[in-house]
A and B are shown apart, each in its own frame.
Chain A
Amino acid sequence: MRTSSARTWQTAVLAFIIIGFIALALGGYLAPVTRVLMTPVINAQTWLSTRYILVQNYFNAPQDLGRLRQRNQELEAENARLESQIIELEQQLSETRILSALVDFARVHPQNRYVAASVIGRDPSPFVKYVIINRGSDDSLRRGMPVVTSQGLVGRIAAVTAGAGRVELIINPASSINVRLEPSGTQAVLLGSVTGELTLDMIPQSASVQVGDLVLTSGLGGNYPGNILIGQITSIRRLETDLFQTASVQPVVDFSRLEILLVITNFQPVDIAPLVPTPAAP
């Protein structure tokens, strides 16, 4: 009986001491003691862990390298695919902008019917200025139909096959177009050249022509519809001894960057050659 009472007391005292230690630890009174005791343990743990990680890396490194190389290849392939996608989208965006401008042009000129065509090549001879388009007689294109862009006049169809057409540009040396100058209303003839420059000829000496005047098709001669913008006068040459004035014209169309063109399909060119008097005719 006495023995069991003593044990109870021992247990109670032990519990009291433990609770006291816990209370002291929770109160932060044992921190210096735990620090002194735990520091060597933590250092040993750190040392051991570091060595373990080094050994683990040593054995796992080849696998990781292979995985990284594979991942790198995957990412490079993905990067190349995305880059090509960006280029494709930029090209589509560029085409969309051009088509949008052409649609705007068609809305402004509702009296005409158009067929859009892409430029697929240029004449192999540098002496003549022609482009090849991807539409032909299968698309109802005919010789003589005018060709424009959203900026202005490009030229006219010179020849067609079933699936392609050849367009004579207005800068071709053999090209000559009857034009009207605005605002004066003066009639003149626009000539191409081998260098791609446009020259106005046959401007009457009495006409009042200024730098900056607009050049539009006049419709005379029956080769082109009237009022299509061609360009602007940049310089004028006037000599008292000449019969006519001449002028240089800056075209509104950039002929070195032609991509998509509009062919006016409802314009019928008129061949006035039989009406032109010849010396042999009565």
Chain B
Amino acid sequence: MPVLIAFPILILLLIVQTAILSNTPLLQGTTDIVLLAVIAWAIQKKVDTAWVWGIIGGLLVGYVSAVPLPVYLAAYLGAVGIALLLRQRVWNVPFLGMLIATFTGTILLQGSTVIALRIADTPLAMNDTLNLIILPGLVLNLILALPFFLIFGDLAKWLYPETLEM
């Protein structure tokens, strides 16, 4: 069930991302709600399908985007790895873990994209890239981290109910 439900949720988020959020940038930067969903899912304790969500999210976004697919796949899996690491380290303050994972995951994704485009000989003005895309995108992701953390926290409680120990 936690794996099957990943498909409709991530596809719906991808549709919202491409149809609405990519049309409403802050400067030139946009949020990445699929990445946020994957991180918010991975940071929830008891969740054991985080890697699968990372793979599904990376494949979906990589398929739609013109950025090479391995970039998204690797960055999403990297973000999941960071989230799982932080879940063990800051387990008593999970939202702090969500913020840190969002920050590092976003930087990881955007850094990977820049490197991949530079390798493909795409000219990118680093100053503009940093000021107009990376930083605004980071701010948007951090702003949306809280609602995603809460929504996916409820989803995790629904899919992994607490069991009473007698």
Contacts and interface: CB of A to CB of B under 8 A. Distances in A.
Interface of A: 120-128, 130, 132, 158-159, 166, 168, 173-174, 191, 193-196, 256
18 contacts: A121-B15, A123-B18, A124-B18, A124-B32, A124-B65, A126-B28, A126-B29, A127-B113, A127-B129, A128-B65, A132-B18, A158-B66, A166-B66, A174-B120, A193-B123, A194-B125, A194-B132, A194-B133
Given A122-B23, A128-B66, A174-B122, A195 B18 contact: no
Interface in B54-90: 61, 64-67
Given A130-B66, A168-B66, A122 B22 contact: yes
B117 A127 contact: yes
B14 A173 contact: no
Nearest 10 Cβ contacts at the A-B interface: A121-B18, A122-B22, A174-B122, A125-B67, A126-B30, A130-B66, A128-B66, A121-B19, A125-B65, A126-B133
A195 B125 contact: yes
Interface of B: 14-15, 17-19, 22-23, 25, 28-30, 32, 34, 61, 64-67, 110, 113-114, 117, 120-125, 128-129, 132-133, 137
- Per DSSP, chain B at the interface is helix
Given A194-B28, A195-B128, A195-B132, A125 B66 contact: yes
B66 A123 contact: yes
A9 B34 CA distance: 116
A126 B22 contact: yes
B110 to A, nearest CB: 8
Contacts of B128: 193-195
Contacts of B122: 128, 173-174
B125 A193 contact: yes
A168 B66 CA distance: 9
A158 B67 CA distance: 12
A168 B65 CA distance: 11
Contacts of B15: 121
Given A120-B19, A123-B22, A195-B132, A173 B124 contact: yes
Contacts of B133: 126-127, 194
A27 B128 CA distance: 101
A122 to B, nearest CB: 4
A124 B124 contact: no
Contacts of B125: 193-195
A117 to B, nearest CB: 15
Given A124-B32, A125-B67, A126-B29, A194 B22 contact: no
Nearest to A258: B23
Given A174-B120, A194-B124, A194-B132, A124 B61 contact: yes
Contacts of A122: 18, 22-23
Contacts of A194: 28, 124-125, 128-129, 132-133
Nearest to A257: B23
A101 B122 CA distance: 34
Which of B15, B120, B123: most chain A Cβ within 10 A?
B123
Nearest to A173: B122
A191 B113 CA distance: 20
B154 to A, nearest CB: 25
Contacts of A125: 65-67, 113
A123 B65 contact: yes
Contacts of B120: 174
A138 to B, nearest CB: 18
Contact of A121 (B22, B132, B137): B22
Contacts of B129: 127, 194
Contacts of B23: 122, 256
A201 B26 CA distance: 29
A85 B30 CA distance: 33
